[in-house]
């Protein structure tokens, strides 16, 4: 049984650490944030609902807390922003225990430390349904330097960080009632936000457009292409796949669509002028993060996936959409 709302907020407040830009944090009606001179404020929010985005019988609470921060920070990374503050809204079911809350908050604070964020406020309620988490992140970017979805042009290279499809493969394996390896579990339950990559790309002005991959390469790339009014050609053979994903793919070639359309990779997809290739390779080495050129942008406004033999490939899966008829959205 949990202590009351205000005791709970007090516990959170005691654990929260400030930072220079946060002039007033938890405890008043609003926080007060001082932006660095010449910077703009970036704000993004995410909802995570029990039964839709997570299952408490699959995830441990520290991982859930960490992931709640990471998925939100991923949006900040996708604009090239520097982290400032995070706001945490939670709806907790009546049977939520102290131990569960402590585990969840441990994960939240691990995420805050990892991404250099101050917890600046939030809201706390009892939920009559499942657990609900609402996270809002704020960051700053030098005026005019945010990397939008709309800045790409035909002729740009298309790049992606890390590997694709691991998270979707983990989810599919769990859904089949099979155990997942530690590597795949980590990719699904404890994804990393590519914050350092995002801020570096903005600082060095390397990317023309960027988006983070939350709903799958195919769907998210389409969002970027629509915003930039361009098309793209993706070389399927160039997709970065982990050793574990490749092993599963050899056993079942149909799994390829998980890398093309599966969600929750939280990698960054970005476009850059071909003249920037060497600088991007250097950045990859500096960050010890693989960056792979997977294709290029075209003037025709469609998206083509091409196999090594030049043939077109059409993925079978549609991108995830919470409101698509016939889907309950359940993960």
Q: Which does 27 bind (CB under 5 to 8 A by kind): Mg ion, ligand ADP, none?
A: ligand ADP
Q: Which does 119 bind (CB under 5 to 8 A by kind): Mg ion, ligand ADP, none?
A: ligand ADP
| Residue of 123, 229, 281, 300 interacting with ligand ADP (CB under 6 A) | 123
Q: Which does 65 bind (CB under 5 to 8 A by kind): Mg ion, ligand ADP, none?
A: none
Say if strands 32-33 and 118-127 run parallel, antiparallel, or are unpaired.
Answer: unpaired
Any idea what the Cα angle at residue 115 is, between residues 130 and 37, rounded to 5°? 120
- Determine, following the binding rule CB under 6 A, whether residue 88 of this chain makes contact with ligand ADP: yes
- Determine, following the binding rule CB under 6 A, whether residue 28 of this chain makes contact with ligand ADP: yes
CB of 43 to Mg ion, least distance (A): 18
Q: Provide the strand spans (E) within 144-267.
A: 157-161, 209-212, 231-235
CB of 40 to ligand ADP, least distance (A): 23
The pair of three-digit structure tokens given for residue 64, joined into one six-digit string = 């859930």
CB of 125 to ligand ADP, least distance (A): 9
The pair of three-digit structure tokens given for residue 160, joined into one six-digit string = 């992606």
Interface with Mg ion (CB under 5 A):
123
Nearer Cβ to ligand ADP, position 26 or 259? 26
| Residue of 3, 7, 17, 27 interacting with ligand ADP (CB under 6 A) | 27
Give the per-residue contact string, 35-74, with ligand ADP (x = CB under 6 A; - = no): ----------------------------------------
Assess contact for 220 and 212: CB atoms under 8 A.
yes
Residue with tokens 């704000």: 43
Q: How far apart are CA 290 and CA 168, in angstroms?
A: 19
| Residue of 90, 184, 207, 268 interacting with ligand ADP (CB under 6 A) | 90
Q: Provide the strand spans (E) within the chain.
A: 22-24, 32-33, 39-49, 82-93, 118-127, 132-142, 157-161, 209-212, 231-235, 268-272, 291-298, 303-306, 312-313
Q: Which does 274 bind (CB under 5 to 8 A by kind): ligand ADP, Mg ion, none?
A: none
- Determine, following the binding rule CB under 6 A, whether residue 213 of this chain makes contact with ligand ADP: no
Assess contact for 209 and 148: CB atoms under 8 A.
yes
Residue with tokens 């706001």: 87
Task: Note the residues at the interface with ligand ADP (CB under 6 A).
Answer: 9, 12, 26-29, 88, 90, 119, 121-124
């Amino acid at each position: 049984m949990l202590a009351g709302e205000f005791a709970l907020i007090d516990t959170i407040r005691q654990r929260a650490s400030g930072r220079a830009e946060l002039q007033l944090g938890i405890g008043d009606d609003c926080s007060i944030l001082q932006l660095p001179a010449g910077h703009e404020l970036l704000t993004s929010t995410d909802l995570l609902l029990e039964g839709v985005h997570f299952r408490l019988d699959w995830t441990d609470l520290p991982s859930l807390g960490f992931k709640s921060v990471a998925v939100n920070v991923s949006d900040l990374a996708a604009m090239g922003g520097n982290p400032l503050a995070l706001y945490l809204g939670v709806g907790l079911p009546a049977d939520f225990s102290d131990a569960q809350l402590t585990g969840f908050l441990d994960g939240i604070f691990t995420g805050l430390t990892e991404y250099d964020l101050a917890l600046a406020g939030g809201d706390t309620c009892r939920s009559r349904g499942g657990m609900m988490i609402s996270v809002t992140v704020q960051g700053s970017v030098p005026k005019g330097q945010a990397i939008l979805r709309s800045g790409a042009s035909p002729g740009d290279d298309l790049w992606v960080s890390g590997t694709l499809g691991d998270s979707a493969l983990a989810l599919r394996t769990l859904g089949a009632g099979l155990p997942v390896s530690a590597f795949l579990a980590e990719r699904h339950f404890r994804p990393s936000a590519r914050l350092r990559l995002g801020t570096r790309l903005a600082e060095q002005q390397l990317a023309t457009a960027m988006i983070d991959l939350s709903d799958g390469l195919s769907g998210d790339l389409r969002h970027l292409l629509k915003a930039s009014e361009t098309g793209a050609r993706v070389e399927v053979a160039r997709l970065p796949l982990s050793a574990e994903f490749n092993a599963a793919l050899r056993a079942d070639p149909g799994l390829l669509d998980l890398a093309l359309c599966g969600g929750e990779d939280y990698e960054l997809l970005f476009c850059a002028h071909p003249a920037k290739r060497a600088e991007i390779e250097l950045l990859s080495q500096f960050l010890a993060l693989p960056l792979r050129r997977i294709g290029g942008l075209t003037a025709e406004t469609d998206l083509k996936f091409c196999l090594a033999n030049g043939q077109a490939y059409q993925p079978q899966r549609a991108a995830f959409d919470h409101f698509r008829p016939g889907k309950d959205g359940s993960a």
